Structure 1
Amino acid sequence: METFENLVRAEFTPKNTYLNTASNALLPARTVTALAEAARMRAEGRSLDPLYDDVEASRAAFARLAGVPAERVAVGSTAALYTALVAASLPPGADVLTA
């Protein structure tokens, strides 16, 4: 069985001590590979549409866990963006519960 420590060592290979993960995190090896493939596809003039298959699979998996239809699951680049969209849509004086 793969341990968490082994997975971390396989995915992250910093060249020095790295402490700034709050604003500028290291990329996991699988992300570097995916970005390189996307850049290669774009350089060759190919469509990036096939890369969204994983996004749709992730939406469907989360929807199953949450017990909602996949079309009710939003996907975006940052939680802050969607939090801002929701906050901006609230009427003045709305009560907001956070956890």
Structure 2
Amino acid sequence: RGSVEIVGGNQTKTEGTQTEFQCRAVGWFPEPNVSWSVNGEANSCNSSSVAQGNVFDSNCTLTVSAIKNSSVQCLVKIPALSTPDSRTVFLTV
């Protein structure tokens, strides 16, 4: 089982600005499915994976407009996990 982190953590932005979050999933096998949830609503992302030996490192970037205070969650799934591994940060507007 690998690790999950949201680079940069919580963010505070001015209303209407574009905000970028990056999720890093490191050391997973097989290649993980990485996705985002914003206030409980699923969001896809541009995901890229690199094989490091027999495990995968995946990066997934989400860009959202800062409209309201939001909970931003990165979810990492592999078949062996019954529930996704996740991390949550907050966007304050």
What TM-score range do you get, normalising by the shorter chain? under 0.3
Greater RCO (CA < 8 Å, at least 6 residues apart): 2
- The structure richer in helix per residue is 1
Give me the TM-score of the superposition, normalised by structure 1.
0.22
- The structure richer in strand per residue is 2
Give me the TM-score of the superposition, normalised by structure 2.
0.23
Rg larger for: 1
